[in-house]
Amino acid sequence: MQPVIQVQHLSKQYKNIKAVDALSFTVNEGDVYGFLGQNGAGKSTTIRMLLTLIKPTEGEIELFGLKLNMHRNEILRNIGAVIEKPDVYKYLSAYNNLKLFARMSGIHPKEKKILEQLDMVGLKERAYDKVQTYSQGMKQRLGIAIALIHDPRLIILDEPTNGLDPQGIADIRNLILHLSREMNKTLLISSHLLNEMEQVATRLLIIDKGKKIVEGTTAELFDPAQTLLELETLNNAETLALIKNSEWQTGLQPQRNNNILIKLHRNTIPDFHIWLVQHNAKIVSLQARHSLEDYFLQITSGTQHVAAFTN
């Protein structure tokens, strides 16, 4: 696959604060690339450097095989972006907003094209209503329609579900899947909501304090050969002691919620279950954990970060 974004050793220094620290990553054509980190991790700073809104302190950025500092205008013509809350004219209708932003981009679409764009984001029936009557989720979808009006190759969305209710979040999720699967767009989506990104992303980058922690496909990150199991019993203390004195003890992980966590190859799980029964473990549940939240817990310093990702 051809790289759409290539970032090498990117850094941004603000006086005594290093917002982004030697960050390198690649977004390939067709990716829904989840750019994950808690608030303040450096996601928005990185995106602003990709869009030339701020200059990097160090590092190189290439988009579509072109160096950003040498081909800025050509590159930006192929990018559509929504940075946090979309900046739209609330006293105008969605139709007139889209028409105005299209003209700013040097495009003069016909009414049919504008309505098709609004239909794609679920706003056709409210096309001629003033934006000030819209919910936050509707404004967010309008912002995405504006970002798409010039048919960009790359779409960048910075925290697209911030402040939305569950229905608004579901609408944005379905729109992202439509853009990827039906329109074959490449998307870079920053978020601190692990559960949402797990449902749409094909590849993931997790950063913390401006540094890359891990990058890869969901299949690579959630290796079935290293399956995390959560065991709940009626006699957890006794069962944990038994495991610590057995061949299974090498897979034990730090406990969470008073349950037992153990990492095993998936092929050994039936044997482990049989062993538990033979040793009188009073099993309530034994569940495989493959969620992004569970993975994040394994590779970071622990629960102090998780609240920022799940709220």
Q: What is the CATH number of the domain that holds 256?
A: 3.30.70.980
* Residue 204 and residue 65 share a domain: yes
The tokens of 118 are what? 């609004």
* Residue 250 and residue 180 share a domain: no
* Residue 211 and residue 244 share a domain: no
Q: What angle in degrees, to the nearest 10, is found between the helix axes of 94-104 and 111-120?
A: 110
| Beta-bridge partners for 232 | 285
pLDDT in the model for residue 295: 64
pLDDT in the model for residue 307: 45
Residue ending a domain, among 216, 251, 275, is: 216
Contacts of 40 by beta carbon, 8 Å cutoff, 6+ apart: none
pLDDT in the model for residue 255: 73
CATH number of the domain at 56, please: 3.40.50.300
* Residue 166 and residue 30 share a domain: yes
pLDDT in the model for residue 274: 93
282 with 233: CB under 8 angstroms? yes
Strand positions, DSSP E, 43-201: 58-63, 66-67, 79-83, 154-158, 186-191
For the entire predicted model, the pTM comes to 0.76
Question: Do the domain assignments include residue 311?
Answer: no
| Domain tally, the chain | 2
* Residue 157 and residue 237 share a domain: no
* Residue 137 and residue 228 share a domain: no
* Residue 120 and residue 19 share a domain: yes
pLDDT in the model for residue 225: 64
In angstroms and rounded to an integer, the radius of gyration of the C-alpha atoms of the chain is: 23
pLDDT in the model for residue 9: 96
Q: Report the chain (311 residues): mean pLDDT per 10 consecutive residues.
A: 92 92 94 88 93 95 96 94 84 94 87 92 94 91 91 93 85 91 94 80 90 81 71 91 92 80 86 92 83 61 45 46
pLDDT in the model for residue 304: 44
194 with 35: CB under 8 angstroms? no
Most distant CA atoms of the chain, gap in Å: 74
pLDDT in the model for residue 296: 65
